[in-house]
Copies of this chain bind each other. A is one copy, B any other.
Amino acid sequence: MPQIVESVPNFSEGRRPEVIDAIVSAYGSVEGARVIDHSSDADHNRSVVTMVGAPEAVSEALFRGIAKAAELIDMNVQTGEHPRIGATDVVPFIPIRDIDMDACVGLARALAQRVSTELGIPTYLYYRAATRPDREVLANIRKGQYEGLKAELEAGNPDRLPDFGPASLGSAGATVIGARPPLIAYNIFLTSDDVEIAKAIARAIRHSTGGMRYLQAMGVLVEGRAQVSMNFLDYTKTPLALVTELVRREAARYGVGVHNAELIGLIPQQALIDAAQWYLQLDNLQPHSVLEWHLT
């Protein structure tokens, strides 16, 4: 099977349609890399692009998108509700098929170096690609936003030095590049209208209050039904099947059941195959046991 990576670049323009179009077009200009979704928010003054494809093609497309944003966005005049430090703000590489996290870290570092060398933009490596523990968290890198980071670099604060490129911000600001697993947004509806039960279940299962390591969760009421709303930050380590059964067990403790579930956005096929493998107890399921594996 050919290698596939996903990327979800965020850039700091959500208002001027002609600028958004030009940047999205740049992301879509490389054979073998495909823009499958993009959305813009005027209040945030920010756009998010979702793309997939071969590693080299996606890297080239990301470079072109970053170059185009640097040309069309001036951070000295950009304003919006969403925190940001650059024209292209954040660029994650996400392993999807036949490529591992280490390879995505390599892609992130290579792109960060190229962006700083060829475009003169300072770049910071984050999450799995981070070179320092404090840079694993995006918010730490973005602290003070464009204006604050610019002032700190001018003041010569060594803590804020970029991983690559000049120690000063131009009109394109800085760009954060890294690698992370795919994120899955998955919600379970309960057979109850009591949101307190959903909140109690969320507290029991999420990392922040003692639960599963790569899980965020909250309880909400959606169209009259209590819902446990979840983000899976690494489905390979905190899997959907186990969490679903944990929710079911906690719900039973309150006398309610699981009504149904829903996905928001995309899910990697492997996450569904992992769930099937777990529930069916197919201990030795091999990739080549799946007929479609032989198609490419």
Binding site for B on A (CB under 8 A): 4, 6, 34, 36, 52-53, 96-97, 182, 188, 240-241, 244, 258-263, 265-269, 272-273, 275-277, 279-285, 289-292, 294-295
Q: How many copies does the complex hold?
A: 2
What's the minimum C-beta distance from A4 to chain B, rounded to whole angstroms? 6
Nearest-CB residue, chain B, relative to A184: B291
Q: Could you say which of B6, B241, B291 contacts A266, with CB atoms under 8 Å apart? A: B291
Task: Tell me if A266 and B240 are in contact (CB < 8 A).
Answer: no
Task: Tell me if B240 and A263 are in contact (CB < 8 A).
Answer: no
Given A268-B292, A269-B292, A273-B276, 15 further pairs, Cβ under 8 A: A6-B291, A36-B294, A52-B291, A259-B281, A260-B283, A261-B283, A263-B289, A266-B290, A266-B294, A272-B273, A272-B276, A272-B290, A275-B275, A275-B276, A275-B280
Chain B residues whose C-beta falls within 8 Å of the C-beta of A259 in the assembled complex: 281
Task: Tell me if B263 and A285 are in contact (CB < 8 A).
Answer: yes
Known: A272-B277, A276-B272. A291 touches B182 (CB 8 A): yes
Task: Tell me if B291 and A244 are in contact (CB < 8 A).
Answer: no
Task: Tell me if A282 and B269 are in contact (CB < 8 A).
Answer: no
Task: Tell me if A292 and B261 are in contact (CB < 8 A).
Answer: no
Chain B residues whose C-beta falls within 8 Å of the C-beta of A36 in the assembled complex: 294
- Distance A36 CA – B295 CA, assembled complex (angstroms): 9
- Distance A272 CA – B241 CA, assembled complex (angstroms): 13
Chain B residues whose C-beta falls within 8 Å of the C-beta of A277 in the assembled complex: 272
Task: Tell me if B282 and A261 are in contact (CB < 8 A).
Answer: yes
